[in-house]
Chains A and B, each alone.
Chain A
Amino acid sequence: MTYLAKPKLHHPTLPQNRVCRTRRDYEGKISTLCAGCGHDSISAAIIQACFEMDVEPHRVAKLSGIGCSSKTPDYFLGNSHGFNTVHGRMPSVLTGANLANRALLYLGVSGDGDSASIGIGQFAHVMRRGVNMVYIVENNGVYGLTKGQFSATADQGSASKKGVVNSDTPIDMASLALQLGASYVARGFSGDKKQLVPIIKAAIAHKGAAFIDVVSPCVAFNNHPGSTKSYDYVREHNEAVNRIDFIPRKEEIVVDYAEGQVIEVEQHDGTILLLRKLHREYDPHNRVMAMNYVAEHQAKGEVVTGLLFVDNSARDLHEHLNTVDAPINTLAAAELCPGAATLAKINQSLR
């Protein structure tokens, strides 16, 4: 992770969003990943989503683990605090940060090695707890930074660049998230930004554990024939269940759809997702159906993408813990320390 600052030259006519920022204000340092890396497309999608959502960059905390994907938070949202934590342990650090200040937007970025191999335990528990966050796994089925070893999401029978065939069964992160109770589960493809940006935007608007599995080909080690995480393979086998048209609140819905093809999903904050159905029978409110659908299509070698599941009445960890509305890190000593008189009473109770 070398340090390369981008020059701060803004074109004066660059459009501003409602918090008076241009798209450039959401960028970070210049990426040091390989040219063509899917992860850079995801960073670009995050930048676009945050810009279009009028997110104040400094109100975002971006956290990651270790690996190529975990380097990316340095390449977007340069005015946000970032934390490159420990391999596989981003979820716990994000949980603690979220407990300390519930008012920020938490963006966890991880990879398939980081989340499905070493970090599968923490991944599972952060989903169970319903930590309010956007958790993106940049999934390429391979360890890039250590040069091409299989990760736990690599499909059984897929071949590495060196020709080794993977014999282990794969872990499907989206299915796992569904089973573990994530209240927003989606899958995207780094090569389909049109689908990905609304998925990220809707995840930002979602209150609760939002998980996005983004298939993101590794151009250096996993983009060859025989790989099931290559650009070509995913393009050929992409099975999108729906497309989100994300509509910010209070805006008139002007898009015209044929009846029965669109579902309106109102989020906690009043925003509305317009979900264009690509499969008539697919119901994104049905967790069990989502799990079955993904499993059935996966068995056919298809990669199911789109918004797989959303529970718009989800409760987050702070609600479970009944914490005060104010960020806990702003509580003053007077609100925390019971004082000497109370201590005298405690002493009395211990005699």
Chain B
Amino acid sequence: MSAQLQPDAQPAPLAAVNDFVVKFANVNGSGSASANELFAKAILRMGVPVSPRNIFPSNIQGLPTWYEIRVTGAGYLGRRGGVDLMVAMNPQTWNQDLKEIEPGGYLFYDNSKPLPASRFRTDITVIGMPLTEICNATYSEARQRQLFKNIIYVGALSVLLDIDPGVIEKLFSEQYKGKEKLLESNFKALHLGRDYASQHLPKIGLRVEAGDGVGDRIFVDGNTAAAIGCVYGGATVCAWYPITPSSSLAEAFQKYCQKLRVDPVTGKNRYAIVQAEDEIASIGMVVGAGWNGARAFTTTSGPGVSLMTEFIGLAYMAEIPVTIINVQRGGPSTGMPTRTQQADLVSCAYASHGDTKHILLFPEDPHECFDQSAQAFDLADRLQTPVFVMTDLDIGMNQRLCAPFEWDETKEYDRGKVMTAEDLDSGRDFGRYLDVDGDGIPFRTWPGTHPSKGSFFTRGTTKDAYARYSEAGPDYVYNVQRLLKKLETAKSLVPQPVARNARAATRFGVIYFGSTSPAMSEALDALDAAEVHVDALRLRAFPFPDSVRQFIEAHDLVFVVEQNRDAQLRGMLINELEFSPDRLPAVLHYDGTPITARFITREIGDRVRAARKSS
């Protein structure tokens, strides 16, 4: 039991090395994002893991934006919750920003204009620096004043937090290679900040100390990673329509294709990217290209999937390989376009009218965005059906420290069951919708294959095993049952779940997926340390492999943690595996911010303790 604090007693200023949260409150369009990223990268280059998150508005200029950086020597890359040092650069959000600071934390602000004492808290350390004054004295142009203010505060913070200025200078040199003038002016701004801080500002309790916690890991956002995965996975056709938070994926695909996919002799492109007129056209193009033997994908977010639904049903029914990367955001409707959620599970898994089920993949970080995007094309070709890569804004648009990308050169693309002219000439029976191997997957032919054999008519209407139009009940039942069998086959082809056992045997389990992963890893450590033992299973795909059923059967109570209101994954587990709802309590976080380790630890900790008491 700790001694009771006197009402007036102030908490001691926070002290931590390589374990704190810095949040920058800025105005968007002011150039702060690149300065804040520079700050994060500098710490990373010192060998200390960081996990930044950009919290931005659906707007181009003038609205509040935040950049939260978790400095984490222990390597916990989820959001922790709470802020230890607030860099308050936006008067619009002053009150809200001030409130978020942990007791004993720090506030760094621009004190060019004096503020009354009533605008501050007394339980934090306040550090003022006349940033505007310094800028106005140094620069004459308005844009320069604005941009270099950001670099100046990075310089000041580097002194406060003991960040190696050499590292920042090196980052500048890399960024402004060949642009000497820019390099010089950034150096100057950095040192303006550093000099002022050294002379005028007090030391604080938070510090960065060089370490070796980063290793060979890379620092990349999920959209870029998925785009590179599409290049490696052999995607040749990308049709897309701009939508936050997925646009940067298509743009990254374009960028890497321009580097990696141009024929060196002719200068011509080994790819085709079309910005379509809407999401319906995007998916239509992907369906057409997939039908015609190209590896094709689209990238979108929830509202786009809603528009694509009819085509997704066609691709399911006509059995056409399609890859859709859904960078999820807060829904429904326009919802929270610049915030994160995992709320499209049901709309994707069962997209379209009638009985449909689709393959979903759940990457946990950019590394898996790369892997699963590349793998999606193999799965789509093998299973001849739509495959969704279900990433989200948290993974997609934030740089995340992750294992480097790997590529096994011995592995070939799996183009699935495609009959060639030689196959057809050898007398093999071709029934487009005939289950010849017992796995539910029929053979297909690409248009133009053979002068007299193998052509067929593709349609969303019912047909017999030889693709002939049929409204006969048995033909319909044969086909839709075969589609189910195909889904059974998929269970062993999709990425399998990853299990993590608690330190001691337990009757409690937790199921989670996707961007919840880093917060969950940290929460599981904290729970284990608090003697709350929970076995964990991270799902990586739908349909659920048999090991998911086994995991649930092996535990009395399995928490299902997800970032949506309606416990969508839980509902799918109950429906698909027919478990009792009582066995699968929901742990839900859906306010648009990424789930935190503190939230999971508290929710599961409390409920396990309550369950223990009642049993």
Contacts and interface: CB of A to CB of B under 8 A. Distances in A.
Interface of A: 1-3, 56-59, 61, 63, 73-74, 78-86, 89, 91-101, 103-104, 121-122, 124-125, 129, 317-318, 321-325, 328-329, 331, 333, 335-340, 342-344, 346-347, 350-351
Interface in B266-319: 266-274, 276-278, 280-294, 296, 310-311, 314
A121 B276 CA distance: 11
B82 interface: no
A329 B268 contact: no
Contact of B278 (A58, A63, A98, A121): A121
Contacts of A100: 236-237, 288-294, 296
Q: Which 3 A-B pairs rank lowest in CB-CB distance, beginning with the nearest?
A: A92-B284, A96-B288, A96-B285
B286 A96 contact: yes
A101 B274 CA distance: 15
B290 A58 contact: no
B413 to A, nearest CB: 5
Contact of A329 (B294, B412, B461, B468): B294
Contact of A328 (B237, B287, B445, B449): B237
Contacts of A99: 237, 272, 274, 285, 288-289, 294, 296
A156 to B, nearest CB: 28
Interface stretch (B175-183, B452-460, B481-489, B590-598): B452-460
Nearest to B277: A125
A2 B468 CA distance: 9
A30 B350 CA distance: 37
Contacts of B450: 58
A12 B202 CA distance: 102
A331 B285 contact: no
A317 B289 CA distance: 14
A338 B260 CA distance: 6
Interface stretch (B18-26, B30-38, B403-411): B403-411
B279 to A, nearest CB: 10
A280 to B, nearest CB: 40
10 contacts: A57-B451, A82-B455, A83-B288, A92-B276, A96-B294, A323-B270, A328-B272, A338-B232, A340-B407, A340-B408
A96 B283 CA distance: 9
A65 to B, nearest CB: 10
Nearest to A90: B284
A125 B282 CA distance: 12
A312 B269 CA distance: 25
A1 B457 CA distance: 12
Contacts of B283: 92
Contact of B292 (A96, A121, A325, A339): A96
Contacts of B456: 81-82
A122 B281 CA distance: 7
Contacts of B270: 323-324, 328, 331, 335-336
Name which of A63, A86, A96, A324 has the most chain B CB atoms within 10 A of its CB: A96
Nearest to B370: A343
Given A346-B228, A350-B219, A122 B284 contact: yes
A122 B407 contact: no
B469 to A, nearest CB: 5
B159 interface: no
A61 B359 CA distance: 29
B234 interface: yes
Nearest to B41: A351
B261 interface: yes
Nearest to A318: B272
A344 B448 CA distance: 38
Given A74-B469, A323-B272, A325-B268, 18 more contacts: A61-B292, A82-B457, A84-B461, A85-B287, A91-B281, A92-B283, A92-B285, A97-B292, A100-B291, A103-B448, A324-B266, A335-B270, A337-B234, A338-B260, A339-B409, A343-B232, A347-B216, A347-B405
A59 B448 contact: yes
B447 A96 contact: no
Contacts of B217: 351
B134 interface: no
Interface in B389-406: 404-406
Contacts of B286: 96
Contacts of B412: 333
B141 interface: no
A63 B288 CA distance: 10
A80 B455 contact: yes
Contacts of A83: 288, 291, 457-459
Nearest to A331: B270
B470 interface: yes
Contacts of A342: 260
Nearest to B413: A333
B458 A329 contact: no
A322 B413 CA distance: 25
Contact of A58 (B220, B407, B449, B461): B449
B404 to A, nearest CB: 4
B147 interface: no
Nearest to A103: B448
Interface in B216-251: 216-220, 228, 231-232, 234, 236-237, 239
B290 A96 contact: yes
B276 to A, nearest CB: 7
A225 B449 CA distance: 48
A125 B237 CA distance: 18
B8 interface: no
Contact of B448 (A58, A82, A337): A58
Contacts of A80: 447, 455
A95 B448 contact: no
B234 A82 contact: no
B446 interface: yes
B263 interface: yes
Contacts of B289: 96-97, 99-100, 329
B281 A3 contact: no
Contacts of B314: 85-86
Contacts of B274: 95, 99, 129, 317, 321
A157 B154 CA distance: 71
A101 B293 contact: yes
Contact of A95 (B284, B408, B461): B284
Contacts of B407: 337, 339-340, 343
A344 B470 CA distance: 53
A346 B469 CA distance: 49
Nearest to B260: A338
